Structure 1
Amino acid sequence: MKLQVVVHRARLGAEEFRVVRPARPLTRALLVDRDRYLNAYLDQDAARDIAGLWMLAARSPRSLVHVPIRANRPPDGAVPDGMGSRLDLVLLHHSLQFAPSRWKQVRGRIGPGRPQTASLPVAEPDDLTRVDHAARHHRENRDLFHQHLHAETLFMTGSAQVFRATVGHFLDIARKGPGYIEAHPGSQHFCTELHSNDGTLGNAREVHIEYCDQWAA
């Protein structure tokens, strides 16, 4: 799988941060804070791109993978006004030990960037079925996502293993969403979820991920 990205540098004092963004804007993607949970709305292309960025975060422990989507228009019939704040997304490996409180400064110092093509392994649709589910619920399991909110941004911090174990959610949306909507015109709802019972969430809320093919112009 090839993913077009732009690699930026941002310097704070003696420290330099590597920030990776998708080369093309994900205009049909939205992340909304619903208080008790988070709601992601994606079309097929955005779901495929986020799956690629998810895999990139798994193999790039020194990078902040930034998905700027909070200014996007909502899908038709979704996200009424007053029903949650819209967020950007940052994916990062826990070993980076980045403090989200520094993000606003880093974001303000991001340079122009350099285009790059990332070569990623082709993920299979059944990636989730290969995970040792019993081990996920063991008390020593450290392959968990932790979330922080800062500067209108959701930070998803985790290990390479937990990123790889959960990329299948976005692949399902990209591969199955369009066909499901076509086959079930009366339903118009295809979704998946990062659920608290999956054993992948530590200090983190559930994320409801919904396929949407109709978006505001």
Structure 2
Amino acid sequence: MELRLREFRPRIGPHEHRVVQPGRPLRHTSLRDPSALAPYGMLVGDHDGLSRLAGLFSFAAFSRHTIVHVPLRDCVPSVEGCGELVDLVLAHPEVGLRPSKWPELRRALRRDTPLTARTDETRTERHARAWLERPYDRRLLRHTAHARTYFLIGGRDAFASAATSFAYAADQGPRQKGVLKGRLMYMDSVGGEPAPHGDGSHDPEVLICFKEYPTDAHLKRPGH
């Protein structure tokens, strides 16, 4: 997949960071932050949004020193779900990104440079399979929310696995019964590292849901 991105090189103190964003907004994709009572986020998107997220997760998998920032707060939200609308950030531990420092870094995203990147779906699927084949020796993504942003921190194979989940949702979502009537379809999820209490009842998770956006929903009838 060819990705059109915006690249930023903000400097905070002595450190320069590389941050990329989608070249254009994921207009009909939204993410709601988990709450204490329902510790899972709900990500709802159409075919375009979910397929581009698959590409962004694949890009993040093999970009160990890059922060991928996906602005979603100002997109058209789905009426389903509850919780605050948040942005999404993907990063490897090597970046050393602390969520508490993200607002300062986000404010420094001023000058950008156009960037085109191409993802390798075959390579992504290979690493995703390798991750799934070692259920007792794999690291999940760490989920953290701060400053109206949802952070997923982890390694190459975990991001590759998530990329295939988004690709599946984008491909199979439009085939589900009832989507043309505006129904929301749960397709997959991105799980996270177990919570500190260890009982497994509140482990973080992001639900991946498909919802077709009506092509004429932004139009007004005559006289309105």
TM-score by length of 1: 0.84
Across the aligned residues of Structure 1 and Structure 2, the Cα RMSD in angstroms comes to 2.6
Deviant stretches of 4+, over 4 Å: 123-129, 182-188
Q: Which moved more, 1:59-68 or 1:206-215?
A: 206-215
What residue identity is the alignment partner of 2:18?
R
Superposed counterparts of 1:57-76, under 5 Å: 57-75=60-78
Superposed counterparts of 1:28-107, under 5 Å: 28-35=28-35, 36-75=39-78, 77-79=79-81, 83-107=82-106
Superposed counterparts of 1:90-169, under 5 Å: 90-123=89-122, 130-131=129-130, 133=132, 135-138=134-137, 141=138, 143-169=139-165
Determine the structure 1 residue equivalent to 2:190. 194
**1-structure distance, mates of 2:127, 2:184:** 24
Paired residues of 2:131 and 2:158 also in contact (CA < 8 A): no
Post-superposition offset of 1:119: 1.4
What residue identity is the alignment partner of 2:94?
S
Identity among equivalent positions (%) equals 29
Post-superposition offset of 1:208: 0.7
Post-superposition offset of 1:144: 1.8
Secondary structure of residue in 1 paired with 2:59: helix
Q: In the comparison of the two structures, how many residue pairs are matched?
A: 206
**2-structure distance, mates of 1:55, 1:8:** 19
Change (3 A) 1:12 1:31: same
Post-superposition offset of 1:158: 0.4
Q: Which moved more, 1:91-100 or 1:46-55?
A: 91-100
**2-structure distance, mates of 1:181, 1:78:** 18
Secondary structure of residue in 1 paired with 2:67: strand
Secondary structure of residue in 2 paired with 1:136: coil
Deviations, residues 143-191 of structure 1 (Å, cap 9, x unaligned)? 2211221111011000011111221110011111112146886965242
Paired residues of 2:128 and 2:160 also in contact (CA < 8 A): no
Post-superposition offset of 1:23: 0.2
Question: Bigger relative contact order, structure 1 or 2, given CA contacts below 8 A and separation 6+?
Answer: 1
Deviations, residues 25-80 of structure 1 (Å, cap 9, x unaligned)? 111110002311111001100001111110111111111100000122223x424x
Paired residues of 2:31 and 2:43 also in contact (CA < 8 A): yes
